[in-house]
Amino acid sequence: MLGVEQSARGQRWTERLEPNRLHVATAIAQAHGLPDLLGRILAARGADLQTAERYLDPSLKTLMPDPASLQDMTRAADRMATAITSGETIGIFGDYDVDGASCVALIERFLRNHGRSGAQNCLTYIPDRLTEGYGPSPQALTGLVEEGARLVLTVDCGTAGEEAITATNEAGADVIVLDHHQAGEALPPAFAVVNPNRQDDLSGQGHLAAAGVVFLFLVATAAALRRLGAYEDQAAPDLLGLLDLVALATVCDVVPFKDANRAFIAKGLKVLRLRHNAGLRALADEARLTEAPSTYSLGFVLGPRINAGGRVGASALGARLLATEDESEAATIAARLEALNAQRKAIEAGMLDGATAMADATLAENPDAPLLFLGDTDWHKGLVGLVAGRLTDRFQRPSFVMTLDADGMATGSARSIPSVDLGLVVRDAVEDGLFVNGGGHAMAAGFSLDWNKREAAEAFLTWRLSDSVANSSASRTLGLDGALSARGATHELIDLLERAGPYGPGHPRPRFAFPAHRVTRLRSFGAGHVRCTLQAADGGRIDAVAFRIEGSPLGDMLVGAEGQQLNLAGNLRRSVWQGRERIELMIDDAAAIQDLPT
């Protein structure tokens, strides 16, 4: 598109809609009375005449799966219902990220609806990210049993928790695993393992976040309670009112925006607008959010603040914020998370400077290195994943970033690029004895290793990933949904585009080329961000912003082109500044203007 074969980010610009689907786009537009542009956008994202309505109206009625389709779900829900009706104390062990915190809050709120609150009925344990790490430990789970729990739920973790679950069984409690991480052939000896990514699960719901799995579990539990007569003298819980938490987790865990996930997000955003959740309301106020809730505000404003507790503060803060109904407690926690997030940004900036210098040195020595494998004793364990993500985005290759302990152990996180499955290769490294433990998703993984084995581990990863990284790099394209001029970026256009939302991974936000726009009023701000104004040949203008690009090829191109014309690509969003709503372009890429062949 526009003749761009090699952009600032090394990408070839292409039309997102394949030529052989043009007729599908036309048919969708005609059948649903839509503008041609919206028909093209839907067809480019896999919609056809039969499924277009699901994209335009992602409703729970049509997209939410039967909870019983997940392996072990009925068994788990029946056990939970029995625990509630018989007055058993229930323990909840949750992960420390947004997804885990949301899961814990979902269950606590559900139990509260059934008169189950307080330590005598519900015990919660969130591990410390820095001292305990990911997943359940025997000490943590048996500690819940010692406090009285007879049923323990592990949420957003537990699939790899065989040792901890065995110890819990021996201590006299049942364990239900509610998870979504990739699973090997062997499962832990839990009473039930509800995980759509276990190998024998045929539900087709592997795209769910853990909070989505927990929501289905609560739906199934409510149905089991109804069969037991629990709602004959009390109202059933308003499960739809919990979808703000499911939407938050689904967006922040970066799972595909497809099927039920799109319905959870669409409905959850409507619930968020009601501001019923005291914690989310307090956090939005602390962050000075004035615009309507959106996937952007969930993923880039609220999510990082909730995660800050687990990364550099107290791991339980996020779950406490999302579960509380006390206005004062919510305000106190929100203020603390705001402060911790500022601290997180400062620490991350220092780590990123050091890691970028290491990466530059590595690539100067070996420009074709398929991955980055970096570690330092001074790096913060809670932030290595964020730094890995920044490096992957900048250098366009998988990045493994570790912090080294005094005892010679390294704990790290890895982030990938499209079509390179990190979760699989990390699990294989564990099986081969190169990593002590590890696991994750295709795009992100966590691991630990003996630093003495680092060279062998890096060699193994290089061997396993070289071909897939090369294939991914060779096929790097930037899909575009059309070309616009600054005057065409109107509120009416954004209203039209939102009809096919929500957008996210697997259902990408429409991206447009802005051909031959002059870069003016360029200025830097924050941690390597750039703002500018783009001017078209007809005089039309649009404000634009690009995040974390200072010192990158894209940043260098923008700075070097001030006052000159470039082809730019990005997506449009509304922003509110000092009470005024405006439209701005979020720049994804740029390219020099090419003379097209005649």
Q: Output the domain CATH number for residue 312.
A: 3.90.1640.30
In angstroms, rounded to a whole number, what is the distance separating the alpha carbons of residues 217 and 380? 35
Mean pLDDT, residues 23-37: 96
Q: With CA atoms as reference, report the closest residue to 106 among 235, 244, 230, 223.
A: 244
Residue of 540 and 407 predicted with greater confidence: 540
Position 70 in a domain: yes
Q: Is 61 helix (H, G, I), strand (E, B) or coil?
A: helix
Mean pLDDT for 20-47 is 96
The mean pLDDT of 427-437, rounded to a whole number, is: 93
Listed ranges 96-110, 301-315, 425-439; the one with the highest mean pLDDT = 96-110
Distance CA 333, CA 322 (A): 10
Average pLDDT over every residue of 520-541? 93
Tokens describing residue 221: 């539990």
- Judge if 464 and 490 occupy the same domain: no
Domain boundary among 419, 445, 475: 475
- The alpha-helical segments, DSSP class H, found in 87-196 are 98-113, 138-146, 162-171
- Structural contact between residues 415 and 443, judged by C-beta atoms closer than 8 angstroms: yes
Q: How far apart are CA 568 and CA 207, in angstroms?
A: 32
34: Cα separation from own chain's centroid? 31
**If DSSP codes are grouped into helix, strand and coil, which group holds residue 122?**
strand
* Ranges 128-132, 370-374, 533-537, 551-555: which has the least confidence: 128-132
- Nearest 5°: the CA angle 459, 465, 470 is 125
Q: What is the 3-state secondary structure (H, E, C) of 296-338?
A: HHHHHHHHHHHHHHHHHCCCCHHHHHHHCCCHHHHHHHHHHHH
Contact 532, 526 (CB under 8 A): no
**What is the per-residue DSSP string for 195-261?**
-TTSTT--SS-TT--HHHHHHHHHHHHHHHHHHTTTTSSSPPP-GGGGHHHHHHHHHHTT----THH
Which tens digit of pLDDT belongs to each residue from 555-564?
A: 999 999 999 9
pLDDT of residue 482: 95
Does any domain span residue 14? no
Q: Are residues 313 and 262 in the same domain?
A: yes
- Whether residues 430 and 536 share a domain: the answer is no
Tens digit of each residue's pLDDT (9 = 90 or more) over 577-588:
667 788 999 999
- Same domain, residue pair 426 and 529: no
Q: C-alpha dihedral over 363, 453, 401, 419, to 10 degrees?
A: 70
Tell me, what CATH number does 398's domain have? 3.10.310.30
* Of the listed ranges 57-61, 113-117, 180-184, 589-593, the one predicted with least confidence: 113-117
Same domain, 459 and 556: no
Q: Is the pLDDT confidence value at 68 over 60?
A: yes
Whether residue 10 is contained in a domain is answered as: no
Cα separation, 494 vs 221, whole angstroms: 40
Which residue has better confidence, 462 or 115? 462
pLDDT for the residue 477: 92
529: tokens are: 């961000």
Q: What local confidence, expressed as pLDDT, does residue 472 receive?
A: 84
Residues 487 and 451 in one domain: no
| pLDDT of the residue at 529 | 92
DSSP-based three-state secondary structure for 443 = coil
In a domain, 521, yes or no: yes
Whether the pLDDT of residue 236 is over 80: the answer is yes
Q: Are residues 282 and 200 in the same domain?
A: yes
Read off the DSSP letter of residue 157: -
Segment 83-88 mean pLDDT: 94
| Other Cβ atoms closer than 10 A to 470 | 13
| For range 145-160, the mean pLDDT | 97
pLDDT grade, residue 120 (50/70/90)? low
Q: Could you say which of 339, 355, 377 is where a domain stops?
A: 339
Angle between helices 303-312 and 243-252 (to 10 degrees): 70
CB 362 within 8 Å of CB 372:
yes
* 57 part of a folded domain: no
pLDDT bucket at 474, cuts 50 / 70 / 90: confident
182 occurs within a structural domain = yes
* Predicted local confidence at residue 282, as pLDDT: 98
Confidence class of residue 594 from pLDDT cuts 50, 70 and 90? confident
Tell me: pLDDT of 596 over 60: no
Determine the structural domain holding residue 415 and report its residue range: 366-475
pLDDT in tens, 163-197: 999 999 999 999 999 999 988 889 999 999 999 99
Say what the pLDDT of residue 578 is. 67
Please indicate, yes or no, whether residues 486 and 462 belong to a single structural domain of this protein: no
Mean pLDDT of the region 461-466: 95
**Model pLDDT, residue 407:** 86
Q: Write down the residue that tokens 């839907």 correspond to.
A: 42
DSSP 466-512: HHHHHHHHHT-EEEE--B--GGG--HHHHHHHHTT---BTTBPPP-E
Write the CA distances from 351 to 370, 374, 379, integer angstroms.
22, 11, 6
Q: Do 304 and 410 belong to one domain?
A: no
29 within domain boundaries: no
Residues 447 and 468 in one domain: yes
Has residue 126 been placed in a domain?
A: yes
Do 137 and 196 sit in the same domain of this protein?
yes
pLDDT value at residue 598 = 45
pLDDT at 449 over 60: yes
Contact 126, 315 (CB under 8 A): yes
566, containing H or E segment: strand 565-577
Q: For position 553, which CATH number holds?
A: 2.40.50.140
109 and 204 assigned to the same domain = yes
Q: How many domains does the chain have?
A: 3
User: By the 8 A CB rule, do 286 and 334 touch?
Assistant: yes
475, 509, 524 - which closes a domain: 475
